[in-house]
Structure 1
């Protein structure tokens, strides 16, 4: 297993992956980081969990749009339709978890 350092939303994360997949993981991390910056810039004043939520939603939307064009968008990106569907499902689950986490933080903040 290989370890890759990703910087997303100005925070560093160490992620493990299979040997040989490091470059792809770095590329995906850069995509997420770009979406986090886009989400933070368009909505302004978001906390980190909200930025990640909106980044996940932007990526899911982009993936959904590409998947809806008879697979041509995913094929040009080198991603099979099945993998794209799995990725969209994973991003949706991540978005739900981040939203739940953000709601918990907001609840704590309002009750403090």
Structure 2
């Protein structure tokens, strides 16, 4: 099982991962490090434990937003199957397209953040 050194907030942690998951784990570590640096930039230095809890809450908030968008997308797909007439279907397809576009923009933003670090 490979072990990777991840640098988060200027501390190095050795983290084990499944074979073939090294690149994914490294990207996650870079994202976590970026969020820690953003937090330190906005609130200043706090204890490591508090900082990691705050970052976990920020990431959980992002996940909650994405989960809500996914729920809306699934609802729109469900409405598409039960709606009568082409105009209701077109409306559902438009909502689905908008939800997918919103998710794509968020994913691109995260990828850009990782590329910049």
TM-score by length of 2: 0.59
CA distance in 2, matches of 1:8, 1:45: 14
Q: List per-residue Cα deviations over 1:28-83 (Å, max 9, x = no partner).
A: 00111111111111111312111111111111111111111026539x85xxxxxx
Unaligned runs of 5+ in 2: 72-99, 108-117
Q: Structure 1 length normalisation: TM-score?
A: 0.61
Higher helix share: 2
Residue in 2 that maps onto 1:49? 49
The answer (yes or no) to whether the contact 1:38–1:55 under 8 Å persists in 2 is: no
Matched residue of 2:70: which SS? Answer: coil
State the partner residue of 1:110. Answer: none
| Maintained 8 Å contact 1:2/1:18 | yes
Q: Secondary structure at the match of 2:69?
A: coil
Alignment length (residue pairs): 76
- Structure 1, gaps ≥5 residues long: 78-112
**RMSD across aligned positions (CA):** 1.9
Higher Rg of the two aligned structures: 2
